[in-house]
């Protein structure tokens, strides 16, 4: 029994040279559907014959883990593990490993890209031009503006450094602030309420929370015309609250790379004039995919060889 089930969309679509390490170590590779998340039916069919699971962001539920009698390790090609039933994995003795910081730079750069796109309304202007309409939208400049970061881990810290380089002031909230992190005089840790109250732009880089961090109450504390960027997790934002705020222009722009269901169904938030939506591309760079795949493969080999 030496099968490894491989499901990350970037790998099943394009392959990756790091998989040769698994073959050299004597493993047989079984791939999920190319460029798509596997269904629960596919997981239940294949995983019982596997000792390792090189997993993407698909849901891995308790019933799947219980059926996978030979499974010893789940190795994510990223850092998010809220899609895995961790309690069931622990009870069944299945190790869960992550590719630490593998996609941090890619996600951080996307967040900065979405900030630029939001303040200059680039997607809106692009749409007008493609329709043959010369319609200019007035933007704002970032220098001197305040960026609020919620979640100052590997990704958040990179966004902070880039924002400081642009000339922004940055305030950050984290449950466990790294007091050794001192990127410059224009950064400080603060309370989450101060982020809500003072930030011109808020960028989310937080782990899952029990309730949305962007909700009716928190939006009421924000400045009128705030921009919100979410490259972290969809449940951090109450979609109904953000849609209402966009319609009332309390929130000037909402840019997101993450969705409760992927791919999402077309809805009023996605089609809104003042949203920017990307298809979960934060970690989808050549460099991030390489780092994540290599780390995920190495974690399997470390656990099983």
Catalytic (active-site) positions: 233, 262, 280
Question: What sections of the chain are H helices per DSSP?
Answer: 9-14, 19-24, 40-46, 62-67, 86-91, 104-119, 122-130, 154-166, 192-198, 216-220, 239-247, 286-304
Lookup: tokens for 271: 């089609």
Q: Is the peptide bond before 224 cis (omega within 30 degrees of 0)?
A: no
> How far is it, in rounded angstroms, from Cα 251 to Cα 255?
11
Rounded distance between C-alpha atoms, residue 224 and residue 251, angstroms: 6
Judged by DSSP in three states, 31 sits in: strand
User: Helices 104-119 & 122-130, crossing angle to 10 degrees?
Assistant: 70
């Amino acid at each position: 029994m030496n099968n490894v089930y491989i499901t990350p969309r970037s790998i099943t679509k394009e392959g990756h040279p790091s998989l040769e390490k698994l073959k050299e170590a004597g493993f047989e590779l079984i791939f999920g559907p190319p460029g798509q998340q596997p269904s629960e039916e596919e997981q239940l069919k294949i995983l019982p014959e596997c000792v390792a699971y090189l997993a993407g962001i698909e849901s891995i539920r308790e019933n799947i883990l219980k059926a996978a009698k030979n499974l010893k390790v789940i190795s994510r090609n990223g850092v998010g593990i809220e899609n895995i039933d961790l309690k069931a994995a622990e009870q069944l003795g299945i190790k869960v490993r992550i590719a630490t910081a593998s996609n941090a730079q890619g996600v951080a750069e996307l967040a900065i890209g979405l900030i630029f796109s939001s303040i200059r309304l680039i997607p809106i202007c692009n749409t007008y031009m493609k329709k043959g309409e010369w319609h200019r939208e007035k933007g704002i400049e970032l220098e001197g503006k305040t960026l609020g970061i919620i979640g100052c881990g590997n990704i958040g810290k990179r966004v902070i450094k880039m924002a400081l380089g642009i000339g922004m002031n940055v305030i950050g909230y984290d449950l466990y602030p790294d007091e050794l992190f001192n990127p410059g005089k224009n950064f400080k840790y603060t309370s989450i309420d101060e982020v809500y109250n003072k930030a011109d732009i808020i960028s989310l880089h937080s782990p899952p929370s029990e309730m949305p961090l962007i909700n009716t109450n928190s939006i009421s504390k924000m400045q009128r015309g705030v921009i919100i960027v979410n490259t972290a997790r969809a449940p951090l934002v109450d979609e109904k609250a953000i849609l209402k705020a966009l319609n009332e222009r309390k929130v000037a722009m909402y840019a997101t790379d993450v969705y409760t269901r992927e791919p999402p169904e077309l809805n009023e938030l996605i089609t809104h004039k003042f949203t920017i939506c990307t298809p979960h591309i934060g970690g989808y760079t050549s460099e991030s995919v390489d780092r994540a795949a290599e780390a995920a493969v190495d974690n399997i080999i470390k656990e099983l060889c």
